[in-house]
Amino acid sequence: MNIVYNDEKKDLPSEQLHRLFKLVGWADGAENSDMLKYFNMPFINSTLVISAWENNRLVGAVRVLSDKIIRSIIYDLVIDPEFQNKGIGQELVKRCIEHFPNSEWAVQTTEEISCYYQKIGFKIYKDVFLSIPSRWQ
Ligand SMILES: CC(C)(COP(=O)(O)OP(=O)(O)OC[C@H]1O[C@@H](n2cnc3c(N)ncnc32)[C@H](O)[C@@H]1OP(=O)(O)O)[C@@H](O)C(=O)NCCC(=O)NCCS
């Protein structure tokens, strides 16, 4: 397994990104053609995108919204199930933090995944988190 990481490419191929999202249950395959075409837009519009590749196959990705100084938030950390538990997720998060090492780092996730991030050094945030859901949720 030779995994190559890319810290610069934001325009990940929509088709491959959709495939990853589908494999982990974040997309159901019922997305219309416009959604599929623009599937990578949230990545393109993010501050930082890091992807993991085996040859031309996209096997992992993560995106970050950040002011590059004080606050950064991780979204859409996803690893192809065939490539999970091989350290790729941890490597992607590590690389994110290295880009803005003095920033606060946040991630919103489920109870189950929270221990994954706690192992990497994240602590559960005690304050209240409020949101208005997007029309896509
Ligand atoms: C969660 C996820 C990103 C982890 O990435 P990964 O590359 O498989 O994990 P890594 O190889 O970096 O880390 C492996 C370690 O994390 C643990 N781990 C893996 N998946 C986990 C999970 N779902 N919950 C808790 N711990 C998990 C493993 O037990 C292992 O622990 P160890 O180092 O003590 O042996 C990946 O399983 C995934 O894409 N899941 C589906 C999408 C998802 O839920 N993403 C998180 C969104 S916030």
Q: Looking at ligand 1, which residue's alpha carbon is closest to its atom 37?
A: 84
pLDDT given for residue 24 in this prediction: 97
In a domain, 125, yes or no: no
85 lines ligand 1 (CB under 6 A): yes
Structural domain boundaries, residue 68: 3-120
C-alpha 37/C-alpha 21 separation (Å) is 14
Report the amino acid identity of residue 130. L
Confirm whether 74 is domain-assigned.
Answer: yes
- CATH number of the structural domain spanning residue 29: 3.40.630.30
How much is the pLDDT for 30?
81
Average pLDDT over residues 58-75: 98
Q: CA 80, CA 88: separation in Å to the nearest integer?
A: 10
pLDDT 10s digits, 17-63 = 999 999 999 998 888 888 888 999 999 999 999 999 999 999 999 99
Among protein residues, the one with the nearest Cα to ligand 1's atom 35 is: 85
| Residue 137 scores a pLDDT above 80 | no
